[in-house]
Structure 1
Amino acid sequence: MDIIFFHFFGSLKDPVTNTEKQAFQRDLKEPSYSMAKRKYSSTSSFVSICIFAVSCNIISASTEDGFIANYSRTTRYTVPKNIPSRTTVLDLSHNQIKEIRIFDFRSLPKLQVLMLFDNQIRVLNFSVFQYNEDLQYLDLSHNNLQALFGFPVPSLRHLDVSYNNDIKMTFCSDSSTTWKLEYFGLSTRRMQKPDFCVLAHLQVETLFLGLEDLSEYNSTFLPAFNMKNLRIALPNIRRFPILSNLDLNVTERLELSNIQGDQIKDLGTFLSKLNKNGRLLNLTVTNIELGWRDIVNVFTVVWKSTIRYFHIYNVTVLEFDDAVFSNIDTSLQALTIEQTRLGTVSIDQNIVYKTFSDMNIPALTISDSGILFMHCPSEPSRFTYLCFSNNTLTDILFQNCNNLPLLETLILQRNYLKDLTKVSLMTNTMKSLKYLDVSHNFLQYDSENKCHWADNMVELNLSSNILSELVFRCLPVNVKILDLHENHISRVPKEMLKLNNLEELNLAFNKLTALPGCDHFRSLRLLNIENNSVLSQSSEFFESCQYVQRLKGGNNPFKCSCELREFINLGKQGSVELVGWPDSYMCEKPEYVRGTPLANFHISKLSCNVTLLVAVILIITVVLGVAVCIVCLRFDIPWYLKMIWQWTQVKRRNWKSQQLNTIQFHAFVSYSEHDSDWVKTVLIPNLEKEDGSIRICQHERNFVAGKSIVENIIDCVEKSYKSIFVLSPNFVQSEWCHYELYFAHHKLFSEDVYGLILVLLEPIPTYIIPARYHKLKALMAKRTYLEWPKEKSKHGLFWANLRAAIQIVLPNNEEMEEF
């Protein structure tokens, strides 16, 4: 026999005791699991959540349904006053409260959970809760209760009065009192009829019976329990044969704790006499001390019983021998062994491994036991479910094992697996394997060796390892659900296996910097990339991931810029369900938008598309150019620009030559050549008299030879006091008349005087006046012109008005003669 000191059941050190919070979480997940003095809850999920919040030392917190108030461990002697009236969960545990008064809870109509355990309460009248019609959970354990009386609240579902003194329950005699509880906890020191009379009037699903401190026992008073779930903490005094006398008919789940010494034999006796027609299917034993031979004996009895599910928690193996377990036909479906420790330094692991590997049951769980190795079954096994979590198994597990043909689920999380290639080889012979969990190990893959997975595997959990993107070259091709969260993956490479059946991919808590593409898994429906380093989207994602229905992408340091525009629109449009949108999606960069929800960040498509932006600018430029051209042509702007340029040039030359223009003429006359006869024979002779008091500037006699026409026009306009324009249809058709009118306009605007005199020789229809004569149109519209009368009788008045308009004393008359 090989004696190995590093043994199956773990090290010699005592296990670390779980905290109350861990214990409560365990109770929620494993309803059949309990310890002797642990609190249990079978009430609604709201109550469970509230208790969990209080167990985490939440002082006060609001919930959707009410308010949680925690006064635990505050050295109180009475129930505090001024508790918020909307309180639904109240924790007063671990204090020194001795009395509950009638008015203590009157102001709490919404109270649902009340924890008063570990106080010094002696007497309780249920009438103190008459104003708490919603009370469901009441824990009075670990007090000094001696008496309970009154009628309980009808809504009460969980009542724990365990670990008190021997309680006198005065309502036992009232047969009309029927409780409908889901959980009831009770302890006693003496096994007498009055202690259990209350059980006859209870309709309870789960009963906890604490008998550790039992000092007096009479088997005739042990009741026939009629509840579905029964939990018993056995007496510390081993001579009380509780198990031998236990009779169960309707119980479906039984949990026994504190099994030591001779009680192991009592357990065997109890199991061996189980009624074949009984309903007991689920047996749990906790806090048990026994030797290897006792384990073999218990297994033998259980294998022969009607038990379907057998759970062992917190077991200590005191000694080891060479007892061998022989498999027999059994109705047992699942065996669970958790939290095992060893009280001896020697053990033959071959016997242990062979015992468990050859069990002819469908499901086996051995966790928190320090397993180093497990044999391949010696013949084809019935195992469909194996769980060896939180042990010390290595890569040599089940190598070349051909005797697990029915295995569908294999859980190996929290072990010492390191080589992904060897893990794949382990599964290669498991033809029925569908689910594999190897999370929380030390797995790596170097891409040098090929992987050989089970062909039928549909779900693979590789989370919490140290895998890189090379893992995508070592995956089962038929996998549908793949969990790779919390690894070292920085990208999804293009060189990878095609996973055409993959529907769910979890890449959370990795090192991704961009959304991955889906070229190699076209059936993907759910993608999880939460808590990565994703800054922006990738065009590959939108091109290849059209079939993704749900995307978990929150808690990433998004860079809110053009690159993220399509992703933001994805969340706003709702074409893909963004889980956690918009609360979990925040801008991280640039600094000025940090903390801004992506839903509130807006950037236009135009500013993000360079090609489109250039096209829009070009279109706008062309449109503006065309508009400017149209406006220029409509209002003859090029002509005006030309005139401004010529005016500027003349002014510049005059400035350089320091030529000063002084008023030398009373008026400059502008007219069309077609009207020259009237000007020469009528206008000028009537204005210029023989006395020379009025002098008219006429282009034919006053333009200076050698100067351009434009310069002569500008000089004449500048040297004339007024400008007379003889208007007729011929005038508006003359280009030079247009020049003269423009420069006269310019002088008018620059000198701020009314220097234009319009003489209407013939009527001019407004529609024939060119657009550039806008000033002429305005002046004519205001009738500021002189009209040449056809009647001779009115000519005198006409000439008088015209002479008056231009009459002025000109300076330097001698110089005018020289001009």
Structure 2
Amino acid sequence: MGTLKQITLYVAVCSFISSSSAFSLNNCTIRTPLKDIQPKVLCYKMGFFRIPWIPRNTRILDISFNAFAQIQIGDFSHLSNLQDLNISNNKISQIQEGALDNLSNLSRLNLASNRLREISRGMLHGLTNLLVLRLDHNYIKDIDVTAFSTLQNLKVLNLTKNHLHYIEKIKPVLASPYLEELYIASNHFDAFKSYEMSTNPLSLKILDLSKNPFATFQLTDNIFPFLNHLDLSYCGQNGTMTWNITEKTFFSSVKTLYFMDVHISAQNAANVLQSFQNLLNKIRLNGNVELNKTDLLLNACSPMLQVLRLKANKIKHLEEHMFDPCSNLTEVDLGDNEISRLWPSIFIGFTQLKTLRLQINKLTQITNSFQMLSTLEFIDLSRNSIDTLTCNDFANLTQLKNLYLYSNKISIIKSCLFKDLKSLEVLKLGTNNLLRIGDAFSNGPHSLVELQLTFNKLSKIEKYTFRNVSQLNSLSLQDNQISEIESHAFGGLKNLTSLLLSSNKISAKTLTKNQDVFSGMPNLKSLGLDTNSISFSDDQLKFPPFKDLKHLRVLALHSQRRGIGKIPSNLLQGLSSLEMFYAGNINLAHLNPDTFKFSPQLWFLDLSKNALSEDHSIPAELFHPISRLTKLILSRTQLRSLNFLLNANLSRLLSLKASGNEIDTINKTLIQSLPRLEVLDLGKNTFTCDCTNEFFIDWAKNSNSTQVLYLNKYMCSYPSSLRGMSLSAFNTESCTLNIDFICFLCSSIVVILTLLLSFVWHFLRFQVVYAYYLFIAFLYDNKKKQSGSTFQYDAFISYNAKDEPWVMEELIPKLEGEQDWRLCLHHRDFEPGRPIIDNIIDGIYSSRKTICLITRNYLKSNWCSSEVQVASFRLFDEQKDVLILVFLEDIPTHQLSPYHRMRKLVKKRTYLRWPKPGEDTKVFWQKLKMALEVKEGHKSDFLIP
């Protein structure tokens, strides 16, 4: 069975996670724990004009105080689990019929303070389980007859402050058979006639008709058999209202009547009150200034009446016997009047009175006025002008449990004041003029549980001041001028759990002057020392002030007026049970790593509003003793980084708030170091919008375990070009290295280059080879020019090896033997072991001329072609006669076509031809000699095109 439940829960959680996508909602927060599969989502006061995206399994949704103008079909279609929906305080003037059809589980719907003018036929259809509906503060004038027909379970309906003019307009709402509470105050009903509302008994228990200008109230049928509470306050107009109740039993079930500030005559008021057959238990007659109070009480009071409220009636004097008709009252409220004097005889008739409220009057003294009220349990005398209390003022009040005397002018409390208050549990003496306590509590009250002494002028707490109120559980001393606390000042308070000393003048000296400042309170759980003048300069204290508070759970030291300076390493010594520590706004610049070594149970830490900007202000070791920390607040601490949390070992941290700092980057390692984080607030930081925050942005958007509060409000501060842009709008896809795309791109480039190189080699290889040789020649030519070297040879002979016999037999003997020319020949002058192309270039550029011996074999030779290429480059680069073409064979022009370079040269230049067999060779040698002898800059027929 247990396994089945676990599986069901797991499926539900997974369903929620998948449906909600992430917890970082725009302008909304999830207030319930994230493990709750039906969360509470708050989106109020966010300026929405349309319904935002809401997690599918939301249980409670508050989108009040926005700017919605209408509710459309589909806005809530996915929220079938919604139970409580608050859309109040918007501008809704229309709800489309069917827009709420899918909210079958909704039990509470708040549409108050909108602009609805009617309740149409299908507006509320589908709300079959609705229990509470608020439509108050709208402009509703009309309600369709069938509007409430599907609301079979409705119990509470509020239509207060609308524009309904006729009570018959209310009739459609009575189609809800179990309606128990109906509020139709502040409309424009000038007549209430029961038959216009219904003739059948209704299930109503509470009916609010207040603030309607009734001129007529007529009840002819017993339609309110279960009515318990009726509000007729502020009704009537012009002092008249016809009151017609045909049977006095019609209101026999009413126990509570609100009849405040009615605008009717005394006689009509009497008629109203007499209609309740003296069966009322509670009545409010507040604000009936113009009615005679004695007559009012005569008609209102009865033996059944228990609670009477007469607030704000401008009563100045309480007359004797005025409450005689109300002798069985248990509570009387006479607050906010002008009563200045009391005497015992006024209350002589009360035999069961337990609560008496006299707050906000003009009393200056009590004068033993309550001695006859032995049953009294609660007296409120606050906000008067009482300045003196005598020993007999509360005599005989042995049953009194609560005494409120705050906001008076009391300066002295005598020890005899509480001598008879054997049962007193709560005493409030705040906002008086007390200068000292002295022996005020030397005689008790021994049963006192709560004592409030706030906003007085106490400067010193003396030794054993409270030892005779040993049952005290809560002691409030804040907002005084306390600067001195004697040893054992709180001695004897063995049951005290809460001590508030905030907003005083307590200093470090006050706490460390002796060892027993807080002794005598072994069960103290909460201590407030905030807003004092505590500051420390020592790293360690001689007398740790909290050493005796072993059960203290909450310590507040925040907001010290001059700043605390530093927290001594042993300040918290003895606080082994400390769970919550408030240390915000104390101008703290550094925390000692040993600060919390005495408080291993700490789970809440507030360090907000401090100056922790330095890199080592918060050492990681600080958190090692408090591994149970679940909530950490670091807001407005000038932090530049949260990297100190990397090694803090905060594996249980659930909530981290660090808003208002200078944090620019959140990395992956930091997030991974907080595995249980549920709530993260980093608003108003100086984020950098670049790829360093890529992980954080994507994680914040998509995390289904951590809620990043108001992510869409995080703004970019850097770079300047993106300043003011939403961090969540930064495109993180530009940071992702797409391996697949890169592989595709590289593969495409390789294929294209392969095809391109194949094409070039097939169709343009000669041009490529030519370009290569031109480049090599260019480099060599520059080198020669820079070195300024002279020619080593008169001519470089470019020929094919098959033509070598002619060279050896004809050319060399003639040019070197007879004409004394220096020739550069392959087989003789090339440097062995050197690259051939280097030898060719060196030979051509070391010779004044290049003689190409052209034959068919020559044209077919790659190396000969290279020599022609280099020689051609030298020809066009230097613009000199450096090239002599000699055809040893007769080659037709068309046979030169495949040899682009040679054909081009032949077309542009004159060449020599070796004579045919039998022809005279003298002319040939003579022309060759002439070509070799041409000086620099002189044109030759053989060299110039």
- Is 2:505 the partner of 1:439? no
- Is 2:711 the partner of 1:582? yes
The whole-number CA distance in structure 2 between the counterparts of 1:561 and 1:390 is 42
Structure 1 residue aligned with 2:390: 321
The whole-number CA distance in structure 2 between the counterparts of 1:723 and 1:268 is 147
Structure 2 residue aligned with 1:762: none
Structure 2 residue aligned with 1:653: 784
How much identity, in percent, do the aligned residues show?
Answer: 12
The whole-number CA distance in structure 2 between the counterparts of 1:562 and 1:525 is 20
The whole-number CA distance in structure 1 between the counterparts of 2:279 and 2:211 is 19
Q: How big is the shift at 1:273?
A: 2.0
Deviations 1:247-278 (A, max 9, x none): 779x8x8755247367674785576425xxxx
- Is 2:699 the partner of 1:699? no
User: Kindly tell me: are residues 196 and 485 of structure 1, through their superposed partners in 2, closer, same or farther at Cα, counting changes over 3 Å?
Assistant: farther
- 8 Å contact 1:146–1:168 — kept in the other structure? yes
Q: 1:410 aligns with which of 486, 495, 499?
A: 499
- 8 Å contact 1:285–1:312 — kept in the other structure? yes
- 8 Å contact 2:359–2:384 — kept in the other structure? yes
Tell me the SS of whatever aligns to 1:176: coil
- 8 Å contact 2:278–2:302 — kept in the other structure? no
Q: How big is the shift at 1:401?
A: 3.0
Structure 1 residue aligned with 2:472: 383
Q: 2:611 aligns with which of 508, 511, 517?
A: 511
- 8 Å contact 2:566–2:589 — kept in the other structure? no
Q: 2:644 aligns with which of 540, 560, 563?
A: 540
Q: How big is the shift at 1:558?
A: 1.9
User: Kindly tell me: are residues 217 and 559 of structure 1, through their superposed partners in 2, closer, same or farther at Cα, counting changes over 3 Å?
Assistant: closer
Deviations 1:214-248 (A, max 9, x none): 40235364256789x87542751522756554477
Q: How big is the shift at 1:599?
A: 5.1
Structure 2 residue aligned with 1:3: none
The whole-number CA distance in structure 2 between the counterparts of 1:263 and 1:160 is 35
The whole-number CA distance in structure 1 between the counterparts of 2:849 and 2:324 is 136
- 8 Å contact 1:286–1:312 — kept in the other structure? yes
- Is 2:544 the partner of 1:451? yes
Bigger helix share:
1
2:589 maps to a residue whose letter is S
The whole-number CA distance in structure 1 between the counterparts of 2:584 and 2:320 is 53
Structure with bigger RCO (C-alpha 8 Å, 6+ apart): 1
User: Kindly tell me: are residues 324 and 246 of structure 1, through their superposed partners in 2, closer, same or farther at Cα, counting changes over 3 Å?
Assistant: closer
Structure 1 residue aligned with 2:631: 526
Deviations 1:386-438 (A, max 9, x none): 23444455543885332211101123344444447439954232111001223
The whole-number CA distance in structure 2 between the counterparts of 1:116 and 1:646 is 102
1:430 maps to a residue whose letter is M
The whole-number CA distance in structure 2 between the counterparts of 1:565 and 1:602 is 21
- 8 Å contact 2:258–2:284 — kept in the other structure? yes
Q: How big is the shift at 1:385?
A: 1.8
Deviations 1:339-387 (A, max 9, x none): 4122x8x745666645567223353243665252677235361111223
317-326 or 717-726: bigger deviation = 717-726
- 8 Å contact 1:431–1:455 — kept in the other structure? yes
Within-5 A mapping of 1:693-772: 699-700=825-826, 710-713=841-844, 719=850
Q: 1:341 aligns with which of 379, 401, 408?
A: 408
Within-5 A mapping of 1:55-74: 62=67, 65-66=86-87, 68=89
1:508 maps to a residue whose letter is S
Structure 2 residue aligned with 1:668: 798
- 8 Å contact 2:566–2:590 — kept in the other structure? no
The whole-number CA distance in structure 1 between the counterparts of 2:782 and 2:358 is 116
Q: 1:170 aligns with which of 218, 238, 243?
A: 218
Tell me the SS of whatever aligns to 2:89: strand
The whole-number CA distance in structure 1 between the counterparts of 2:220 and 2:874 is 118
- 8 Å contact 2:635–2:661 — kept in the other structure? no
User: Kindly tell me: are residues 271 and 747 of structure 1, through their superposed partners in 2, closer, same or farther at Cα, counting changes over 3 Å?
Assistant: farther
Structure 1 residue aligned with 2:428: none
Within-5 A mapping of 1:206-605: 208-210=284-286, 212-213=288-289, 214-215=291-292, 216-219=295-298, 221-222=300-301, 231-233=309-311, 236=315, 238-239=318-319, 245-246=325-326, 256-258=334-336, 260=339, 265=344, 269=348, 272-274=351-353, 285-290=358-363, 293-294=366-367, 297=370, 301=373, 307=377, 313-317=382-386, 319-323=388-392, 332=401, 335=402, 337=404, 339-342=406-409, 347=412, 353=437, 354=439, 358-366=444-452, 370=456, 372=458, 376-379=465-468, 381-396=470-485, 399-419=488-508, 421-422=510-511, 425-447=516-538, 450-453=543-546, 454-466=549-561, 467-473=563-569, 474-475=571-572, 477-478=575-576, 479-494=578-593, 496-498=595-597, 499-513=599-613, 516-521=618-623, 522-523=626-627, 524-537=629-642, 539-547=643-651, 549-560=653-664, 566=670, 572=699, 577=706, 580=709, 582=711, 585-588=714-717, 594-597=723-726
Tell me the SS of whatever aligns to 1:801: helix
The whole-number CA distance in structure 2 between the counterparts of 1:197 and 1:173 is 18
Q: How big is the shift at 1:458?
A: 0.7
- 8 Å contact 1:536–1:564 — kept in the other structure? no
- 8 Å contact 2:774–2:869 — kept in the other structure? no
The whole-number CA distance in structure 2 between the counterparts of 1:715 and 1:409 is 109
- 8 Å contact 1:243–1:263 — kept in the other structure? no
- 8 Å contact 1:535–1:556 — kept in the other structure? no
Within-5 A mapping of 1:53-202: 62=67, 65-66=86-87, 68=89, 84=93, 88-89=112-113, 105-106=141-142, 125-127=166-168, 140=186, 169-171=217-219, 174-176=222-224, 185-187=258-260, 188=262, 190=266, 194-196=271-273
The whole-number CA distance in structure 1 between the counterparts of 2:407 and 2:670 is 54
Tell me the SS of whatever aligns to 1:170: strand
- 8 Å contact 1:291–1:320 — kept in the other structure? no
Q: TM-score, normalised by structure 2?
A: 0.51
Structure 1 residue aligned with 2:77: none
User: Kindly tell me: are residues 585 and 713 of structure 1, through their superposed partners in 2, closer, same or farther at Cα, counting changes over 3 Å?
Assistant: same
- 8 Å contact 2:323–2:349 — kept in the other structure? yes
Structure 1 residue aligned with 2:9: none
349-358 or 378-387: bigger deviation = 349-358
5+ residue gaps in structure 1?
1-44, 51-58, 71-82, 92-101, 275-279, 608-634, 671-675, 691-696, 754-794
The whole-number CA distance in structure 1 between the counterparts of 2:140 and 2:588 is 58
Q: How big is the shift at 1:559?
A: 4.5
Deviations 1:129-158 (A, max 9, x none): 6799999766549x9x98655678999999
Within-5 A mapping of 1:27-38: none
RMSD of aligned residue pairs (Cα, Å): 6.4
User: Kindly tell me: are residues 562 and 579 of structure 1, through their superposed partners in 2, closer, same or farther at Cα, counting changes over 3 Å?
Assistant: closer
Q: How big is the shift at 1:552?
A: 3.8
User: Kindly tell me: are residues 717 and 219 of structure 1, through their superposed partners in 2, closer, same or farther at Cα, counting changes over 3 Å?
Assistant: farther
- 8 Å contact 1:196–1:223 — kept in the other structure? no
User: Kindly tell me: are residues 366 and 520 of structure 1, through their superposed partners in 2, closer, same or farther at Cα, counting changes over 3 Å?
Assistant: same
User: Kindly tell me: are residues 104 and 501 of structure 1, through their superposed partners in 2, closer, same or farther at Cα, counting changes over 3 Å?
Assistant: closer
Structure 2 residue aligned with 1:79: none
